[in-house]
Amino acid sequence: MEIKKSACPYDCPDCCGLLVYTEGDKVVQVKGDPGHSYTRGTLCPKMARYERTVHSPARLTTPLKRIGPKGSGEFAPISWDTAIATIASQWKEIIRKYGAEAILPYSYAGTMGTIQYSAGHSFFYQLGATSLDRTICAPAKSRGYRDVMGGTLPTAPQEAANSDFIILWSISMLATDIHFRHDVDLARQNGAQVWCIDTYETPTARYADHFTSIKPGTDGALALGLMHVLNRDGLIDETFITQYVEGWEELRDTFLPRYTPAAVSSITEVPAAAIEELAHAFGRARAPFIRLGSGQSRYGNGAMTSRLITCLPAITGAYAHVGGGLLTSASGSHAFDKSIIRRPEKEKKGVRHINMIKLGQVLTDETLAPPIKSLYVYSSNPACTAPEQALVAQGLSRDDLFTVVHERFMTDTARYADIILPATTSLEHDDIYYSYGHYTVQRGNAAIPPIGQSKSNWQVFSLLAKAMNIDDEFFQQSEPDLIEKFIASTDTTWPLPVDKAKLESGEPVDLPLPDNYKLDFKTPSGKIEIKNSAIEPALPDYRPPHYANDTETFLLINSPDPRILDSSFNERPELTRGHIMELMMHPDDANRLGLCEGDIVAASNTQGRAQFTLTLSARTQPGRVVSEGVWWNTLTKTGNTNQLTHARTTDKDAGSTFYDVKVNITKLTGQI
Ligand SMILES: Nc1nc2c(c(=O)[nH]1)N[C@H]1C(S)=C(S)[C@@H](COP(=O)(O)OP(=O)(O)OC[C@H]3O[C@@H](n4cnc5c(=O)[nH]c(N)nc54)[C@H](O)[C@@H]3O)O[C@H]1N2
Ligand SMILES: Nc1nc2c(c(=O)[nH]1)N[C@H]1C(S)=C(S)[C@@H](COP(=O)(O)OP(=O)(O)OC[C@H]3O[C@@H](n4cnc5c(=O)[nH]c(N)nc54)[C@H](O)[C@@H]3O)O[C@H]1N2
Ligand SMILES: [Mo]
């Protein structure tokens, strides 16, 4: 048995260090690396059995071509040569008839590896294809942070171990960031209080000392209410503000007087007394630490909400104290110069951009010129994870749409493909990884040869470049060549020297943080900008979410399930067995509607309908129903929660608004 080091490739803030145990060509076990400063030797239940994904009998092992109707899942094996030649001849024909913008790439973070995530960017730029705006996750959260803090490094998660007051704010820590628990536990052992602010009582809420249940999409008002009380009760740090903060006085004198605890309570459904209590605890803490998750940003007002929450630590001077600060997304993503692989300069001037959230609309829009005639999907599963699922399915069903899907499994999207290409897992290709939850980076070399005939994203784009006559040495580089360039790029991307030899060797490497990084504000003024005159509006204020104009009865909270990650891991029957497509409702609502535990119900709205099994619990509030998990549609009766979600975007940076959705609930006697 050999032990090789690698990193977890999934779209998760933890980006764990892995110990991969192999016997010949087989991965027999995967463990968390005790030497990784965030993983600290443990893995989530998904990755603790990663070998079951790698060696799953459901892996796609050869290229396939469609032999049945679109979506039927009927395919026959073909060779790689035939697959690549077919794609190239179809694309050449489409380009001749409609121009290259009739081709649309669609990808996201099936792997977060620096190479494989971005492997297709340059290829599609050079082809002149439509460019994809990759906005499906949480760009509004980063935007809200940036509007106040500019390029300031967010606080490292390990800092929280020294805090005396931690807020887990719209983060499902025990599902999506489980290794942060280590730091929170350490702080707790030293007496820290832990608060959780969420829309229903998650396991993370139960873990915390205090739980504040808030009406979805209203956290911006809560942040203003907290600032109101902090100011009223003399709990702000005037010295810190004078030295480091711009625009506090203006916010204080214009909008803040309105946000009394009573007014905020009526917006947020948080009792006024609880707002006061939270403000006092936050204001009296020596070094409060906010871990801000993405949940609050997935609404029409998401960038503004994140911006308002980002103002909070500024007025109490949290950054000046060991343990204090705010972590939205760590800047590990800045560690490597991604332009090495993306080559933004290759994008043709004026080329059309399409927002990935609008996929359903774009594929079904008959007025679009040129129309999308080919879709190339990799590292993503939009038939399952994109909003407006019914429209996406309608678009993917078009007989005149030539769809190629590069995948590891027969996903909902792959079923609609004309050609499927088999993809490697992270243990079969080389890459280098960074995290958006901490500051440790790591290289991961292939631990075993590719399963079947699978190929990595980079290898496939190299083949496609050749077939499309893109004569460019760039595509002849190997993955190790690229990794070497990324490692070298740390000389310019990172403020302090990175241990390149260690990075080269495959060990996890902590990016060094400058001593004063928490007070080195990378904004035009050099201060925290509560007022930011470069943007509209210059002062932040609460805005209601989109759903304020919707007429359905219930808010639909559709949060992550710890067993899967977005739609990844649905290939593992031991993880998806039982308890899927459940809908949690408050018993008072159920009584009113005459519904019982175990009833089969339909949730419906203007987007569509989906079937759920009802569970009753006071973990949610009246008026809010909860369904966890993005399940493969093939495991559901009617499609998952994305039958119900909207493609409306956030106030800034056109992000997704998965949680900004209302539904009606009715009892079903038969299936839909
Ligand atoms: N197990 C597991 N891990 C995952 C994922 C997964 O699906 N499963 N997904 C991965 C991905 S792609 C991402 S982006 C991250 C996201 O991970 P997080 O940052 O945790 O964000 P979310 O999962 O969107 O939501 C977190 C919590 O916010 C709550 N929430 C929703 N709306 C609001 C609101 O208006 N206010 C407040 N205060 N809370 C709200 C939700 O109920 C949820 O409990 O997780 C990653 N990790
Ligand atoms: N209702 C609802 N919908 C949501 C969310 C929600 O909370 N609620 N969360 C949203 C969020 S935050 C996100 S980020 C999106 C994510 O949505 P997606 O981008 O669709 O991500 P996954 O569902 O993880 O699918 C990734 C796919 O990539 C494949 N893959 C993995 N590695 C590789 C590789 O190296 N090469 C290739 N070619 N393929 C690979 C996997 O097999 C998997 O099928 O989902 C969004 N959808
Ligand atoms: Mo995400």
Mean pLDDT value across residues 141-160: 98
CATH architecture of 2-54: 2-Layer Sandwich (3.30)
Contact yes or no for 336/114 (Cβ under 8 A):
yes
Separation of CA 566 and ligand 2 centre (Å) = 5
Q: Is the CB of 212 under 6 A from ligand 1?
A: no
In this predicted structure, what is the pLDDT of residue 411? 98
Residue whose CB lies within 8 A of the most ligand 2 atoms, among 6, 54, 408, 454, for a mutation test: 408
pLDDT band, residue 669 (cuts 50/70/90): confident
- Beta-bridge partner residues of 172: none
Q: Which residues contact 321 (CB under 8 A, 6 or more apart)?
A: 286, 287
Q: Percentage of the chain surpassing pLDDT 70?
A: 100
pLDDT digits (tens, 9 = 90+) for 407-449: 999 999 999 999 999 999 999 999 999 999 999 999 999 999 9
Contact yes or no for 197/212 (Cβ under 8 A):
yes
Q: Is the CB of 645 under 6 A from ligand 2?
A: yes
In this predicted structure, what is the pLDDT of residue 333? 86
Q: Percentage of the chain surpassing pLDDT 90?
A: 98
Contact yes or no for 424/456 (Cβ under 8 A):
yes
CA distance 101 to 86: 19
pLDDT digits (tens, 9 = 90+) for 620-633: 999 999 999 999 99
CA distance 6 to 27: 12
Q: Whose CA is nearest to atom 6 of ligand 1?
A: 565
Which ligand lies nearest to the CA atom of residue 110 in the structure? 2
pLDDT digits (tens, 9 = 90+) for 264-317: 999 999 999 999 999 999 999 999 999 999 999 999 999 999 999 999 999 999
Mean pLDDT value across residues 525-536: 98
Q: Which residues contact 281 (CB under 8 A, 6 or more apart)?
A: 165, 193, 195, 210
pLDDT digits (tens, 9 = 90+) for 326-381: 999 998 889 999 999 999 999 999 999 999 999 999 999 999 999 999 999 999 99
CA distance 637 to 633: 8
How many other C-beta atoms lie within 10 A of the C-beta of residue 670?
5
Please state, rounded to an integer, the average pLDDT across all residues of the chain: 97
CB-count burial class (<10 Å; 0-12, 13-18, 19+) for 76: exposed
In this predicted structure, what is the pLDDT of residue 331? 86
Interior/surface letters 562-582, b for 16+ CB within 10 angstroms, e for the rest: bbbbbbbbbbbeebbeeebbb
Residue whose CB lies within 8 A of the most ligand 1 atoms, among 16, 170, 195, 226, for a mutation test: 170
Q: Is the CB of 8 under 6 A from ligand 1?
A: no
In this predicted structure, what is the pLDDT of residue 670? 60
The CATH number given to 64-136+344-428+453-476 is 3.40.50.740
Mean pLDDT value across residues 217-243: 98
pLDDT band, residue 672 (cuts 50/70/90): low
Which ligand lies nearest to the CA atom of residue 105 in the structure? 2
Give the residue extent of every domain in the chain.
2-54, 64-136+344-428+453-476, 139-331+517-529, 546-667
The domain 546-667 is classified under which CATH number: 2.160.10.10, 3.40.50.720, 1.10.3720.10, 2.40.40.20?
2.40.40.20
Separation of CA 225 and ligand 2 centre (Å) = 36
Residue whose CB lies within 8 A of the most ligand 2 atoms, among 10, 355, 411, 566, for a mutation test: 566
Separation of CA 12 and ligand 1 centre (Å) = 10
Q: Taking CA 193 as the corner, what is the angle to CA 188 and CA 195, rounded to the nearest 5 degrees?
A: 120
Which element (helix H / strand E) includes 596? none
Separation of CA 295 and ligand 1 centre (Å) = 5
The CATH number given to 139-331+517-529 is 3.40.228.10
Q: Whose CA is nearest to atom 16 of ligand 2?
A: 566
Phi-psi label, residue 281: left if phi above 0, alpha if psi -120 to 50, beta otherwise: alpha
Mean pLDDT value across residues 175-203: 98
Structure tokens at 605: 């709205």
Long-range contacts of 578-581 (CB under 8 A, 24+ apart): 580/629, 580/631, 580/635, 580/636, 581/610, 581/611, 581/612, 581/613, 581/627, 581/629, 581/631, 581/636, 581/637, 581/640
Phi-psi label, residue 179: left if phi above 0, alpha if psi -120 to 50, beta otherwise: alpha
